[in-house]
Amino acid sequence: MSLPKDVAVRLRGVTVRLGRQTVLEDVDLTVLHGEFLAVIGPSGGGKSTLLRVLAGLLRPQAGTVEIASAPALMFQDNRLLPWRTALRNVELPRDLGAGSGLEPRRALQMVGLDAYADYYPAQLSGGMRARVALARALAQSHDVLLLDEPFAALDALVRERFNAELRHLHDKTGRTTVLVTHSIREAVWLADRVAVLRGGRIVAVLDTRGAGRVTAYTDGLEAELRALLGTGDSTRVLQETAPRARLGWLAPAAALLAGLVLWEVAARAIGVPLLLPTPAQVWAELSRTPGEFAAATWGTARIALLGALLGSLTGALIGYPLAKSRPLERFLSPFVVASQSAPIVVLAPLLITWFGFGLIPAVLVSALSALYPVMIATIVGVREVPPTNHELFSTLRATPWQRLTRLELPSALPVMLGGLRLALSLALIGAVVWEFVSNQTPGLGFLVNQARAYYQTPRQFAAIALLVGLGVGLYLAVTALERRVLRHRRQG
């Protein structure tokens, strides 16, 4: 049976059981188009469960739920995505194909935050984030708005101001609104009707229009205290601390200088360049054939970068399904552990037998070294996505691909970048191992091997110094990328 034209929401005999507990029992409720309904009741009485049933997050064991249009649910916490600006968060429903409400910029304007469209959540106060979440809900649905104590975390003055703004917003947009709250005063002040939910049943629905909305806000001692406190204001941008002189490089520079001094002292004390050359002798060796060392450095770097790229992509492709399915992880875990138990120096000769000498086996050795840390980082990162954000995407009816690209990978990115730092270091080790085993690729590992054979210790040290510098450079490059990508996620 279809809904009457004036009805937006209708529940008939709805019963919800979670485990052995009956949370909602035989609930009947009707909400008219444009009506503001508040639901109050004690904690654990089923208020939030009722909203989740309306939002489609829970299916009742009995009864029917009819809604004229897909609703938008605003949760108790704002659930903003930290890598998206305020405007991009409001645009999320449209990006996922679930936005039938206000145009995103118009929605931000409605909540008074159009001037902060390009700010990230970490730059906004708690009240401003709540407003962005409300704007996202306005952009999601053109009719039914579900509010689950959205301002409970705000202080009393700001909450009162939000209530006034919400009431004005409802009068202006005419959206059908269902609000769950613990505050009797809030329910009476905002709603056209108040439903009392107790013990999983609606025991009464009271009309609060007209005289029912008269409160103590403007009378007596409460009004006097409110006048002294002033009006609550949530529009506060979190200011970042003043930039300080970046002197973090002084400590590693001092350590490097101290290391060079100790190296010089030890080399002079030994006095045998074959055992330990001085830094000046190593520099002289580098200066003698700079072109050869530059070519060798690029040869090793090329293999390490290609190996890190291949290993990281493979690790992410393997890690994601393992993160989503624990049975699959348990099934494949013996193979994963076995692949990491075999040292790469043992596998390299096999690759020579199978693929011969050349670029392909060299990259494979490097990639096998880099695969594991990215795979583990992907598993950990995807599993650490907050369940609350998954719930948000469920209300937006996101497809698995949308959930992957817009939630799981961005959420897992900090952990995956940490894995990439380790993967690059291991890829470089794998490249050098291949050069040692094959003795063919003209890289830094090849130069070290060659110099050792001819007892050219300064040349060995020169190649080792370039390897260390290459490893540090790759590490710093990923660190710089990490800082740039994640800069807006840090709390101001």
The CA distance from 195 to 280, in Å, is: 85
Q: Give the DSSP letter string of 35-47.
A: -EEEEE--TTSSH
8 Å CB contact between 334 and 341: no
Burial of 364 (0-12, 13-18, 19+ CB in 10 A): buried
Among 125-134, 234-243, 294-303, whose mean pLDDT is lowest?
A: 234-243
Name the band, by pLDDT with cuts 50, 70 and 90, for residue 216.
very low
Q: What is the pLDDT of residues 130-173, one digit of tens each?
A: 889 999 999 998 889 999 988 776 766 677 777 878 888 888 88
Measure the CA–CA gap between 331 and 429, rounded to whole angstroms: 30
Q: What fold is seen in the domain 277-489?
A: MetI-like fold (1.10.3720)
CA atoms within 13 A on the CB side of 319: 26
Give 7-71+143-229's CATH code, choosing from 3.40.50.300, 3.30.420.40, 1.10.10.1110, 3.40.50.720.
Answer: 3.40.50.300
Please tell me the pTM assigned to this model: 0.81
Q: Measuring CA to CA, how many Å separate 67 from each of 71, 150, 170, 315? A: 8, 21, 19, 44
Q: Does the pLDDT of residue 314 top 50, yes or no?
A: yes
Domain borders along the chain are 7-71+143-229, 277-489
277-489: same fold as 7-71+143-229? no
For residue 213, pLDDT beyond 80: no
- Distance (Å, whole) CA 46 – CA 203: 13
Per-residue CA distances from 179 to 193, 320, 397, 468 (Å)? 11, 38, 22, 61
Average pLDDT taken over every residue of the chain: 85
